[in-house]
Structure 1
Amino acid sequence: MGGSATSAREPNERLGSWFRRSGWSKGELARQVNRRARHLGAHHISTDTSRVRRWLDGEQPREPIPRILSELFSERFGCVVSVEDLGLRSLPHSAAVSGIDLPWAGPQTVSLISEFSRSDLMLGRRGFLGTSLTMSAGPALIEPMQRWLVPTPASEAAPGARLAALPPQGREGRRLTGLSGPELAQLAETTARFRGWDAQCGGGLRRKAVVGQLHEVTDLLQESQPEPVRRRLFGVTAELSELAGWMSYDIGLQPTAQKYFVLALHAAKEAEDRALGAYVLSQMSRQMIHLGRGEDALELIHLAQYGSRERATARTQAMLYALEARAYATLGQPPKCHRAVRMAEDTFAEIRPGEPEPDWIRFFSEAELHAENAHSYRDLAYVAGRSPTYLSRARPLMERAVRLFADECAADPFGGHQRSYALNLIGMATVHLLGRDAEACAASAGEAMTLAKRLRSERVNNRLRKTWTTARRDFARVPEVVDLSHRLSAELPESEARRAV
């Protein structure tokens, strides 16, 4: 039924405070809990208004309801609202599915990634694994991540060494002679192909395939491998784990995404790849920006910059500066944001044509640079109360980004960065919205909606719906807004958008 047999004597003031500020009715919250539970495969849950009233009165609901409520309130307020913030209790979980303060050692990293990916595959009903996790933020997140720069004791390295005593014919019939160069190249090529599919289609289409490939690679790491092969395998593992995290983030599974990012950072450390580790930290920073945790985002970016000095390419450094600007904009710090924007532009200009670069950073094109900087100024404009100064900086950058993405996608309709194109059309719509240009806002949002229907990205759907909620409030009588509102209701139904990112 969704509640425990015993009730607390005192009302749950924490839950009550969040509930009152949400603007939801008891019936609406009950419907959302039931809808989310069905997505998770928890069909036994049937919540009603009387049940919600008992929660507010102090009754402690059983799992997975505390996790569901945490997700719903986090989405509603755009920040991390933990189970504890709601005055609720959650069941303890094993190290594989809870917490991020994990051992920084090869064997444990392999074991944790293997167990977590296997659980993700087995608990395959949408998002079920995510309900057994909690998001970490603040010192609980930053302090463990700082340890990625601490050298690993030699005695804890080389997880394959413990299999050295096995006979030449190893587990499941594989010979323990190490992977060949062509085999490693094929793994890298497969990972790059997955990354391309994600950019084209969104995270919802191939996420399970990436998780399956990740699990297979961890099996290879449990076999005896020469040290150079072991490092390369850990690099592939880090890339796949980061991609699994990014795709989870894209479809709204925030705790699952964070867990994969953390495991990816551990794998990058074992690969001795500081630049890849910095990239993983940048993805964690993006997630914190999205959740309204500007200070955490800034800490993660500074940690990435410090750890990858003199090891990252100009393109990677430019990306980190652009995200630093995003974090400063979220915090409402214009001078530091301006400086980071300039550093991103200057460093991007230092990219040498033909310079060898890893596949994971090739996405950061001129279009992405302009898009990130445009979003920084857009966010500053919002924080400063629709400041025309910052809007005048954001608009030409966003227009340039949209044109570049449009050209790329027109050249390859079945490839390219379709999701980035959609997200930046929505970004353009928000710039017009802040500038009080309703017709232009509707035009950009209409183009984004056409793309959104071809993507499997809850992030795109949610940003579009959130933007349009504001547009309907501010321009309820503008014909273009009314027309697009009808189209939005028909083509992007409410039940699809509720799993917001």
Structure 2
Amino acid sequence: MLYANALGISEAELFGDSPAPTHPAENGVLTGSVVAIPILPWVWEPQRTVDAVYDTSRDDLMLDRRQAVKALAITAGLPLIDPAQRWLSKTAYLSEETTHSGRIGIEEVARIEATADVFRTWDHTHGGGLARKAVIGQLNEVADLLRETHPNDISLRLFHVMAELSKIAATMSWDCGMQTAAQKYYVLALQATKPAGDRHLGASILASMARQLLYLGHPQDALELIRLALDGVRSTITPRLLAMLHTREAWAYAALGRPEAFRKATDSAEDAFAEISDDDDDPVWITYFDAAELAGVTGGRYLDMARKDRRYASDALTYIGKALQLRQHSSMRSLALDQVGLSQAHLLNGDLDAAVSVGITATHTATQVQSDRVREQLKDLYKDIKPLREPAVVGLAQHIRETLAR
């Protein structure tokens, strides 16, 4: 029963007593999700955004995470895309200078910003499970500070760090399997970028929202958000941010079954990445997107296409292999995803021994992160190898079951 629960399948299916049932996605949402339209906090006025962040984070701190994980409903389609369009509006916020001194100064704001950097690093290194509540608590404190009046320079930085913390909270919520909460925090993060005056951060948040939609089976909506992001920053975008957005665009085309459009967007991503120079003043939140990330994301999409056409498996092996050669071991979640993906690519390419060897390494790496994405990809690998009866494969299946049951 423990293994069956960890793998999200029945005991009969686990032990081969009955064929695996098929669960077609409803309205493009992953199997097991509740298809509904939850109320997202779409507000664009600064103080209403502050109130929404404060109320959401306060309630979240008192939430039973096990119950929250069961709430898998997300908003998609027009109820999501239409309100997001307002991000493009030219409305200026916080334009009136004030001499009022709040209860914090620049040094205190700098310490909050440094804390956000620590949380971001923790997320990249270990996944979101262990630090999520700490991020939510810090976010609530920043929202509480913004309920007061501050000089404009401090308010701008507080809104900016609120947007960053909301984005980190969204990613960590996702890693905890809390899809509804993740989408809500992404929306709050996007709204906070308006008074912060940071279009580039807003474009990055839209890309994260698109990635979640792609994960949940909504590629057309994801593509709309990426186009919105590109429209918002086209005249000022940096090469690194442009490269990242094009990888998301390519991901959507791959999911839509459009290989030529995928290749074109991938070429655009690689061309943009080649333009990165040491003189670029990239903010810290985009520096994660390096050569390893570019190769890993591209390889993952070739892997997706190889599931329908195995001719793409060799491309997946090439790109994911490159990502693993370049990947810093401080990014354990990405390392685990690459390793699982490489095992799956070897399996599709017909190299069973390599698939098993890399798969065992991946299960060990997976024990070092708290990530629902890694767990789900391990489950997919398990389902891929489950019909096989070779002794080496049986050993890998046992490793995966034990890893997911911990």
Same fold by TM-score greater than 0.5: yes
Q: Output the amino acid matched with 1:445.
A: G
Change in Cα spacing, 1:350 to 1:73, as seen in structure 2 (3 Å) is closer
Are 2:356 and 1:442 equivalent residues in the alignment? Answer: yes
Are 2:129 and 1:204 equivalent residues in the alignment? Answer: yes
Is the 2:33–2:72 contact (alpha carbons within 8 Å) kept by the matching residues of 1?
no
Q: Structure 2 CA distance, aligned partners of 1:434 and 1:234? A: 47
How many Å apart are 1:206 and its aligned residue? 0.3
Q: Output the amino acid matched with 1:487.
A: H
Matched-pair identity in %: 40
Aligned ranges for residues 194-273 of structure 1 at < 5 Å?
A: 194-273=119-198
Classify the secondary structure of the residue corresponding to 2:40: coil
Q: Output the amino acid matched with 2:56.
A: F
Q: Which structure 2 residue ranges, 5 or more long, are not aligned? A: 1-7, 13-23
Aligned ranges for residues 416-455 of structure 1 at < 5 Å?
A: 416-455=330-369
Q: Which of 168, 186, 193 is the equivalent residue of 2:118?
A: 193
How many Å apart are 1:83 and its aligned residue? 4.4
Question: What does residue 297 of structure 1 align with?
Answer: 222
Q: Output the amino acid matched with 1:492.
A: L
How many Å apart are 1:338 and its aligned residue? 0.5
Is the 2:29–2:218 contact (alpha carbons within 8 Å) kept by the matching residues of 1?
no
Q: Which of 27, 34, 39 is the equivalent residue of 1:82?
A: 34
Are 2:396 and 1:396 equivalent residues in the alignment? Answer: no
Question: What does residue 379 of structure 2 align with?
Answer: 465
How many Å apart are 1:393 and its aligned residue? 2.0
Are 2:75 and 1:136 equivalent residues in the alignment? Answer: yes
Q: Which of 34, 41, 48 is the equivalent residue of 1:108?
A: 48
Q: Output the amino acid matched with 2:34.
A: S
Q: Output the amino acid matched with 1:491.
A: T
Q: Structure 2 CA distance, aligned partners of 1:214 and 1:196? A: 16
Change in Cα spacing, 1:287 to 1:83, as seen in structure 2 (3 Å) is closer
Is the 1:80–1:291 contact (alpha carbons within 8 Å) kept by the matching residues of 2?
no
Classify the secondary structure of the residue corresponding to 1:456: coil
Is the 1:159–1:221 contact (alpha carbons within 8 Å) kept by the matching residues of 2?
no
Question: What does residue 86 of structure 2 align with?
Answer: 147
Q: Structure 2 CA distance, aligned partners of 1:491 and 1:426? A: 13
Q: Structure 1 CA distance, aligned partners of 2:338 and 2:173? A: 20
Q: Structure 2 CA distance, aligned partners of 1:292 and 1:159? A: 43
Q: Output the amino acid matched with 1:198.
A: D
How many Å apart are 1:316 and its aligned residue? 0.8
Q: Structure 2 CA distance, aligned partners of 1:277 and 1:460? A: 26
Aligned ranges for residues 307-456 of structure 1 at < 5 Å?
A: 307-383=232-308, 385-386=309-310, 388=311, 390-405=312-327, 408-409=328-329, 416-456=330-370
Which piece of structure 1 moves more, 111-120 or 76-85?
A: 76-85
Question: What does residue 8 of structure 1 align with?
Answer: none
Q: Which of 391, 395, 402 is the equivalent residue of 1:483?
A: 395
Q: Structure 2 CA distance, aligned partners of 1:471 and 1:479? A: 11
Is the 1:438–1:471 contact (alpha carbons within 8 Å) kept by the matching residues of 2?
no
Q: Structure 2 CA distance, aligned partners of 1:105 and 1:223? A: 15
After superposition, what is the alpha-carbon deviation per residue over 1:271-319, rounded to whole angstroms, capped at 9, x for unaligned? 1100000010011011011111111111111111111112332111100
Change in Cα spacing, 1:282 to 1:335, as seen in structure 2 (3 Å) is same
Is the 1:395–1:431 contact (alpha carbons within 8 Å) kept by the matching residues of 2?
yes
Q: Structure 2 CA distance, aligned partners of 1:314 and 1:294? A: 24
Q: Output the amino acid matched with 1:457.
A: S
After superposition, what is the alpha-carbon deviation per residue over 1:357-396, rounded to whole angstroms, capped at 9, x for unaligned? 111101001000001111122222223x32x1x2232221
Q: Output the amino acid matched with 1:205.
A: L
How many Å apart are 1:456 and its aligned residue? 1.3
Q: Structure 2 CA distance, aligned partners of 1:320 and 1:24? A: 35
After superposition, what is the alpha-carbon deviation per residue over 1:250-290, rounded to whole angstroms, capped at 9, x for unaligned? 12100000000000000011111000000100110110111
Are 2:102 and 1:177 equivalent residues in the alignment? Answer: yes
How many Å apart are 1:228 and its aligned residue? 2.1
Q: Structure 2 CA distance, aligned partners of 1:81 and 1:421? A: 27
Higher relative contact order (CA 8 A, sep 6+): 2
Point out the structure with max Rg over C-alpha: 1
Q: Output the amino acid matched with 2:78.
A: P
Q: Structure 1 CA distance, aligned partners of 2:289 and 2:66? A: 29
TM-score (norm 1): 0.73
Q: Which structure 1 residue ranges, 5 or more long, are not aligned? A: 1-22, 29-71, 86-97, 169-175, 410-415, 497-501
Is the 1:113–1:218 contact (alpha carbons within 8 Å) kept by the matching residues of 2?
yes
Change in Cα spacing, 1:346 to 1:178, as seen in structure 2 (3 Å) is farther
Q: Structure 1 CA distance, aligned partners of 2:270 and 2:354? A: 28
Q: Output the amino acid matched with 1:82.
A: V
How many Å apart are 1:181 and its aligned residue? 2.6
